[in-house]
């Protein structure tokens, strides 16, 4: 059984023909829509490639059970779900919430 523990192993997997083909099938199955947004009543669809520009990444195909822990499920369609970048990052714990600076008084002098 293959392992997907290192960065190089994962890169090799995600560049493989098997993954690229399965990813496209998962996107098609999910109608090119974020399934999390859909469950919440919203819609997030894939971006459209415009000539001369790089296509904006809007959707990812996510492994429900991560390949580093469940390598046997890496190429199982039932383990895949289309998610928008926002929901994929939330699921993976990669959120970067904007930290609001606290409203600090201009002067810290004590008033009598």
In DSSP terms, which residues pair with 81 in a beta bridge? 62
10-35 burial, b if ≥16 CB within 10 A, otherwise e? Answer: beebeeeeebeebbeebbeebeebbb
Secondary element (H or E) of residue 81: strand 80-84
Per-residue pLDDT, 15: 97
Across all residues in the chain, what is the average pLDDT? 87
Residue 100 CB contacts under 8 Å (≥ 6 apart), including other chains = none
Dump pLDDT digits (tens) for 46-100. Answer: 887 788 888 787 899 999 999 999 999 999 999 999 999 999 999 999 876 655 4
* CB-side neighbour CA atoms (13 Å) of 47: 13
Task: Please report, rounded to a whole number, the percentage of residues in the chain having pLDDT higher than 70.
Answer: 85
């Amino acid at each position: 059984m293959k392992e997907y523990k290192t960065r190089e192993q994962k890169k090799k997997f995600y560049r493989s023909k098997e993954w690229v083909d399965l990813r496209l099938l998962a996107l098609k199955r999910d109608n090119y829509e974020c399934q999390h947004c859909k469950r919440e009543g919203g819609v997030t669809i894939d971006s459209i490639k415009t000539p001369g520009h790089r296509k904006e990444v809007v959707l990812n195909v996510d492994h429900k059970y991560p390949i580093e822990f469940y390598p046997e499920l890496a190429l199982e369609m039932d383990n895949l779900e289309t998610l928008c970048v926002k929901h994929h990052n939330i699921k993976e714990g990669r959120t970067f919430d904007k930290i609001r600076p606290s409203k600090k008084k201009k002067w810290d002098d004590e008033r009598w």
